[in-house]
Amino acid sequence: MSTVRSYLSLIKFSHTIFAMPFALIGFFLGLFHRYFGSIPFDAALPDEGRMSDLFSRSTLVLFFLVIGCMITARTAAMAFNRYLDRSIDALNPRTAIREIPKGIIRPKQALLFTFVNALLFIGLTWFINPLCFYLSPVALLVILGYSYTKRFTSLCHLVLGLGLSLAPIGAYLAVTGVFNWLPILFSLTVICWVSGFDIIYSLQDDAFDRSQSLYSIPAGVGRKKALLIARLLHVLSALFILIAGLLAAFSWIYWVGVAGFWGMLLYQHRLVKPDDLSRVNLAFMTANGVASVVFSLFVLIDIFF
C-alpha cells in the first residue's frame, strides 16, 4: 500500500478534480448529440426508449474507456513531469520533498510508469473510435511536451491549460466522433481558467525560477503584473462560460453553477496578494476544486432535468 500511495502522491492524483468534471460535461453532451441529434436544450423531449439508450451497456463501457483515458493520460503527463524536473525539484526547497528527489521512487521507475500509462492511453483510444486513436499521439505530445516549456517560454502556463482543455472536447469526440462548438467553448474556458490559476500557483517559485533561468510569468514580469494577467485570463474564462450558456440556451440551473464558478474565481484572487502568498494552496486546490465540481454538477443536472 505504501508503494501505491507513493505513486499516487507522485502524480498528485487528487488534482484530477480539475479536469475530470469537464470531461464528464463533454461526455454527456456528446451522448445527447449522439442519440438526439442536437444539444439537449434545443431538442424535443426524448421518449423513454431513446432515453434508455443513454444508460445502455455500450454507453457504460464507453464511459469507463473515457475515464480510463483521462486517468492514464494525466498519469503519464505527471509522472513524466516529475521525471524530467527531478534535478530542478531537488534544488527547490518547496519541491525537494517530492518522491524522486527523496529517493522514494527512482527516476527509471517514474519513466517506466510514464511509458506504461502512455501505451495504456493509446490502447484505450483504439477501442473508442478511429479519430480518438489517430489523435492520441497529438494529445500525448501536448501533455508530455508541457514539461519542457518552462525551459524556454513564459507561456508554459498556457500550454498546461491547453493540455487540460483537451478533457471536454476529447470526451465529446469519444462519444460522437465529431467536433462541436459547445465543448470547444468549454475547452476555451478550461485553457484560461487553468492558465490563470497555474500563474497564481507559480508565484511561490518566482525567485527560484529566476535563479535557475527558468521561465514563468511571475519570474518574467513580477508578482503584481502576474496576478493581473491571471485575473485577465479568469475574466476570459468567465466570458467563455457566459457565451456557452447563452448560445446553448441552458436553463437557470446552469446559471447557478456559473455563479458558483465565478464566485470561486473571485475568492481565490482575494486570497492571494503579491506580498502575501500564505494562502496560495487554499486558492489553488480548494477554490479551483470547488469551482470545477460545483459548475459541472449544475451543468449535468441541467442536461438531464
Domain CATH for 44 = 1.10.357.140
Residue 183's alpha-carbon distances to 151, 163, 269, in angstroms, are 31, 15, 27
C-alpha to C-alpha distance for 147 and 151, rounded to whole angstroms: 9
* Nearest alpha-carbon partner for 198 in 230, 174, 246: 230
C-alpha to C-alpha distance for 300 and 254, rounded to whole angstroms: 9
* Nearest alpha-carbon partner for 142 in 120, 118, 110: 118
C-alpha to C-alpha distance for 195 and 160, rounded to whole angstroms: 7
- pLDDT tens for the chain, residues 1 to 305: 678 888 888 888 777 888 899 999 999 999 887 777 666 555 455 555 555 666 678 889 999 999 999 999 999 999 999 999 999 999 999 999 999 999 999 999 999 999 999 999 999 999 999 999 999 999 999 999 999 999 999 999 999 999 999 999 999 999 999 989 999 999 999 999 999 999 999 999 999 999 999 999 999 999 999 999 999 999 999 999 999 999 998 999 999 999 999 999 999 999 999 999 989 988 888 888 899 999 999 999 998 87
**Number of domain units in the chain:** 1
- Residue range(s) defining the domain that contains residue 203: 2-304
* Nearest alpha-carbon partner for 86 in 73, 72, 99: 99
Residue 185's alpha-carbon distances to 90, 127, 297, in angstroms, are 39, 27, 18
Q: Residue 103 in contact with residue 170, Cβ under 8 Å?
A: no
Phi-psi region of 105 (alpha: psi -120 to 50; beta: other; left: phi over 0): beta
Report the 10 Å Cβ neighbour count for 24: 21
Q: Residue 111 in contact with residue 83, Cβ under 8 Å?
A: yes
C-alpha to C-alpha distance for 302 and 103, rounded to whole angstroms: 48
Q: Model pTM? A: 0.93
Residue written as grid cell 485570463:
233
